[in-house]
């Protein structure tokens, strides 16, 4: 559910860059209510995601809570169903956990 990224020399472009050397950030894909079912149904590994968005939100908040008080900032990145589908199709990528993580990281990088 989370992707840990750190600044490293020659890291792929989708890795989060930080102002402080070797600072780690957590890129956390976040699903909106209107996108969750669409993304879940589209993904090859849909069984990895809870059946309902409410269950997912509770689990996601519990995961985010584990990072409170740490030196590792969490960046929530909203995944939009249509953008994710297009991204997967353009890259001929299977829509799965790894794709969701990479998509979120690339979206974050583009926003910087």
pLDDT means per 10 residues, the chain with 112 residues, are: 43 44 77 96 95 96 88 89 97 96 90 66
Q: Provide the pLDDT for residue 105.
A: 92
Q: Which two tokens stand for residue 79?
A: 């995944």
**Residue 57 near residue 7 (C-beta atoms within 8 A):** no
What residue ranges do the domains of the chain occupy? Answer: 3-7+23-111
Question: What number of H helices and E strands is found in the chain?
Answer: 4, 3
User: What is the C-alpha to C-alpha distance for residues 102 and 95, in angstroms, rounded to an integer?
Assistant: 11
pTM: 0.75
């Amino acid at each position: 559910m989370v992707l840990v990224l750190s600044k490293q020399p020659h890291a792929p472009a989708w890795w989060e860059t930080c102002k402080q050397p070797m600072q780690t950030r957590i890129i956390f894909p976040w699903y909106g209510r209107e996108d969750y079912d669409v993304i879940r149904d589209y993904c090859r590994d849909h069984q990895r995601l809870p059946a309902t968005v409410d269950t997912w939100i509770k689990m996601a908040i519990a995961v985010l809570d584990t990072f409170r008080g740490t030196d590792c900032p969490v960046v929530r990145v909203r995944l939009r169903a249509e953008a994710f589908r297009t991204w997967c199709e353009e890259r001929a990528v299977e829509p799965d956990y790894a794709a969701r993580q990479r998509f979120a990281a690339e979206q974050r990088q583009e926003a910087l």
